Structure 1
């Protein structure tokens, strides 16, 4: 059976015809645009399709049946809405914050088809949730996750599909404009390996898919920023968390038990470091996994008028990989480890590099 990617490639390889006038995006009567980003203008004014590349309309048509609106009902009625999409063996992926506090969830499939949904699992630390729809429409087939080895690079064209402000079936386009972003999560933790995009993400887009032009999900839309900055939970992290939520209702995140900050120029000067890189352990939580192994700061000094904490370990490597910024450490823990794993850390301590190791714990329950 041909995959969604095969169908897009086949359609993209064919010539497209121009259409005059105004049409509604996603309308069944819409013809692919001859002026789409996937076409090249020729000298006689016609459009030559790039081989193997799909237009925006073709990407939209190939994925929209699998995208849903998500309505969150509480004890006092509707209390929020968002988006989602079909994945895996037919479950629905969305954001945790879209269904938080729900006593009932309803899904709106393409064609104004409504279904009740059951919440299978939620995870605040990745802001992901998995639902199961009753009697899912047959045409709502699962979307595939993008190949994450390697992940799509910055500049990859993408489309965000969802229900911003309740307008179902809306699409916006852009590119992957950043990777390896670290976003805030409950309890002062972070969501690692987040994807940045300039595709418009507005209230209601949360939980919807951000797809490549092959129709594969590169991220789960999570939040809009402003000035063309939005973020999504990466396919790499989603592929670890979502199956666990579908199977058991929860996901266990690795936990070091430390507070840390990135090494800045002033910290590098205070610690007499040759390079600005690594993360400084500010505090080791008593009784936590790193207690007795890593050292937190115990003093302070002033550099160029800035107070700098001193005495702590500077982590410059984990699992045999360099740590230059916080994202390097966060992404490794999120994508390569699980609670109970013994992990080796390279640290700068008292002016020299040493190696320590300890067993990772499990993040405590979030305060929501």
Structure 2
């Protein structure tokens, strides 16, 4: 490996960006009766079948996908420490991307590459709100070519491959399609969600988390985050990773924009209860803190519709900087991908039957407890 160790800013050349119970994550070590398989570097590559396009993609990137072993993880049910595992992938000559939940709480984190090489690491940065983390590896083999984060956003029906280490089975691959985009999925712990997630029917299981979801050109369209069973899996989008990863490399953390509101999507019941012409936008149900507090007006009462309380009287947000906000997913995605803390945005809203525009300077999302 070249003796030159690139600066943290040089990771941008590889990622292609400017400095700017459902988790498929840590799997417990399996006992001796569990399924096992040879590491990919032990596979006999002589007298083999021709394979397919999937085979070509797999062979092009498998050397860049790592197994992650985390030591000293505390089990909240037993108060004992043990070991967990997940997946990751190389994004430049020394950095490896994985999930926050894979490495969170670990005392030591080791990598194993597909050629059998091992490496110790240090945690360079981690972000709970995007479930992303970056490790600095002490050793990356020459065969591990950095993977790039896709610049084009995925589309439904696009073929994708998930490569990782489900149940500790190193170098596994599953195939599927992008079955949904721009999903907002709840975090396993904490009162927040991950925006702009990619949904796939490629099977992902415990141990896949942190591994790449790639297109047939080998570009990473998402970082596998969770598997819900029934042919539904999710990945943190490359679009969000392109914003977060460089900041984790540079600063060890990432500041997310913060509006300071709780909202609900305007559905038919909300529209009827608030005399709205159409079921579109989001209604402010609570202003939790600045910048919304004192500027936006939350619902002041509720009525029952369909057996559930429906907010009445709050501001209905219609667009931000001219970008339509039809629902909660659109709001969280726009804030996550198009805005930054300290930026002033123009919010078009409906209040008391009138349309008006207000300006808000976005804050930084508070750190979780």
For the residue of structure 1 that corresponds to 2:111, the secondary structure is strand
CA distance in 2, matches of 1:306, 1:107: 49
C-alpha distance 224-311 of structure 1, shift in aligned 2 (>3 A): same
Query: Cα offset for 1:242?
Result: 0.4
Find 1:113's aligned residue among 81, 96, 117: 117
Larger Rg: 1
Indicate the structure whose relative CO is greater, using CA pairs within 8 Å and at least 6 residues apart: 2
The reply on whether 1:79 has 2:83 as its aligned counterpart is yes
Query: Cα offset for 1:304?
Result: 4.8
CA distance in 2, matches of 1:188, 1:106: 30
In the alignment, what sits opposite 1:134?
Answer: 138
C-alpha distance 97-35 of structure 1, shift in aligned 2 (>3 A): closer
* Contact 2:282/2:327 (8 A) holds in 1: yes
CA distance in 1, matches of 2:279, 2:93: 46
CA distance in 2, matches of 1:25, 1:106: 16
Higher alpha-carbon deviation: 121-130 or 324-333: 324-333
Unaligned runs of 5+ in 2: 1-13, 15-37, 74-79
In the alignment, what sits opposite 1:284?
Answer: 287
The reply on whether 1:98 has 2:102 as its aligned counterpart is yes
In the alignment, what sits opposite 1:360?
Answer: 362
Query: Cα offset for 1:28?
Result: 4.9
CA distance in 2, matches of 1:342, 1:333: 12
User: How many correspondences in the alignment?
Assistant: 325
In the alignment, what sits opposite 2:195?
Answer: 192
C-alpha distance 30-85 of structure 1, shift in aligned 2 (>3 A): farther
Q: TM-score, normalised by structure 2?
A: 0.84
Query: Cα offset for 1:233?
Result: 0.4
C-alpha distance 34-294 of structure 1, shift in aligned 2 (>3 A): same
The reply on whether 1:232 has 2:235 as its aligned counterpart is yes
Query: Cα offset for 1:30?
Result: 6.7
For the residue of structure 1 that corresponds to 2:229, the secondary structure is coil
* Contact 1:71/1:78 (8 A) holds in 2: no
In the alignment, what sits opposite 1:66?
Answer: 64
C-alpha distance 306-73 of structure 1, shift in aligned 2 (>3 A): closer
Root-mean-square deviation (CA, aligned residues, Å) is 2.1
Query: Cα offset for 1:138?
Result: 1.0
C-alpha distance 214-28 of structure 1, shift in aligned 2 (>3 A): farther
In the alignment, what sits opposite 1:319?
Answer: 321
CA distance in 2, matches of 1:209, 1:245: 18
In the alignment, what sits opposite 1:251?
Answer: 254
CA distance in 2, matches of 1:301, 1:232: 37
Please list the CA deviations of residues 108-136 of structure 1 after superposition, one character each: whole Å capped at 9, or x if unmatched.
10122211011000000000000011121
* Contact 1:121/1:249 (8 A) holds in 2: yes
